[in-house]
Amino acid sequence: MAFGRFEQNALLSPLSYPNRTFGFIYAISVFTHLDEPGQRFWVDELSRVLRAKGHLLVTVHGATRLAELSAEELDLFQSGQPVIHQKRYSGSNVCAVYHPQMYVEKIFGSAFELADFIPGGARDANQDVYLFRKR
């Protein structure tokens, strides 16, 4: 019996899986490297392949990373807007995105309800952890 099947997907291309394939999906430090259109694309795509009442676990750079922001960026973050470094490199580790809680709940809120939130919960990565349930 095989351990698993692995595939590589394109940055902004639908996954090869049918609708409602998975009961649980995790995206560890994925949204931290996507511009806003990329984030919206993947929220929709992950919602498509997740079963009803399925769970999505996501980690992002949140309030525990504020020391990495300039004063202007901090104002933007505190107003509920994401801060995106090196946007032109979206989809790579060069792009870094900082997510206020209000923004995360907004972009995931159309498809998911928040089940749990742990600020700084991904300790080794110093990232916030969100657990969503598909509506």
Q: Domain map of the chain by residue range? A: 22-67+74-134
Confidence of residue 25 (pLDDT cuts 50, 70, 90): very high
CA dihedral 47, 102, 99, 108 (to 10 degrees): 0
Q: What is the DSSP letter of 83?
A: E
| Structure-token pair, residue 63 | 């309030």
25 close to 95: Cβ distance less than 8 angstroms: no
Is the dihedral angle over the CA atoms 28, 25, 121, 75 positive or is it negative?
A: positive
Q: Write the class of the CATH domain 22-67+74-134.
A: alpha beta
State residue 82's pLDDT score: 98
Non-local (6+) Cβ contacts of 83 within 8 A are: 69, 73, 76, 77, 97, 98
State residue 69's pLDDT score: 98
Confidence of residue 5 (pLDDT cuts 50, 70, 90): confident
State residue 121's pLDDT score: 96
The one-letter amino acid code at 93 reads N
State residue 26's pLDDT score: 97
Mean pLDDT of 105-132: 96
What is the percentage of the chain residues whose pLDDT exceeds 70?
Answer: 100
107 close to 116: Cβ distance less than 8 angstroms: no
